[in-house]
Amino acid sequence: MSGRLDGKAVMVTGAGTGFGAQLAVRAAQEGAVRVLVHYRSSAQGAEETAARISDLGAEARLIQGDIAAWDEIRRMADEAGDLDVLVNNVGDMASGQTSWREVDEEIIDHCLAVDIKGTMLMVHEFGVRMLDRGVRGAIVNIGSTVIVRGSPRAPIYAAGKYGLLGITKSYARALAPHVRVNTFAPGFMATPAVLERPDFKAGRGEQIVRDTPMGRIPPPEDVTGAALFLASDDAGHITGSYMICDGGYSMLGA
């Protein structure tokens, strides 16, 4: 690996499973000396992620909490201590919804509470602490290319991720020049949550591969390096940006 995060302390939310777990491990591979593995309910997965990080020679710490609750976020920020990088990976993609016709208030409330309110408060609490310490910090919000194409399956998911752009741009200005804030937008990844969706099994997967210039749906670990580029000093003059990484699937317009 490139060592782009040498000596840095990194926290990844939702690191017990999926993309978050791979991001946390990649942070250790990139030289992070301390990696905080956040989880809400996936304790076993978080422990497995932490063990992989320890095997790479980095310090691994577990931190549990619900990012939809401000008191929980304040507690986690206190427990986390001094950080250089925060990766806000947690998000609700309304995975149980198979059609826009199924939308209900419970889905809307939870998706907005996590994707918008929770992410905003995470950026706020952790960003303020970075700013007050005077460090050159970096915050990477994990978005989605769903905001480019929309989501006929779950419009609330697209709405939540679109709101993330406003959070990113606003705090990029508020926390500048000490703390950079960017959004990383992956496309479809070969995770169990995606591969097991009914629409995916019914032909959506084949359609996505066909319409992706790179010709495949990558596993999460193939995308982590691009995401953590935004957390590195190599991206030191990038803030308030939206970086797409979807194999060309969203390559629309001029």
Q: Distance between alpha carbon 79 and the CA centroid of its chain, in Å?
A: 20
Which tokens hold the place of 227? 């995401």
242/183 Cα distance (integer angstroms): 5
Q: Per DSSP, what are the bridge partners of residue 183?
A: 141, 242
6/170 Cα distance (integer angstroms): 28
Phi, psi of 85 (to 5 degrees): -140, 135
Q: Do residues 116 and 167 touch, judged by C-beta distance below 8 A?
A: yes
List the catalytic residue out of 157, 162, 171, 242.
Answer: 157
138/181 Cα distance (integer angstroms): 6
Annotated catalytic residue 242: no
Q: Do residues 231 and 190 touch, judged by C-beta distance below 8 A?
A: no
Which tokens hold the place of 148? 């480019």
User: Which residues are annotated as catalytic?
Assistant: 157
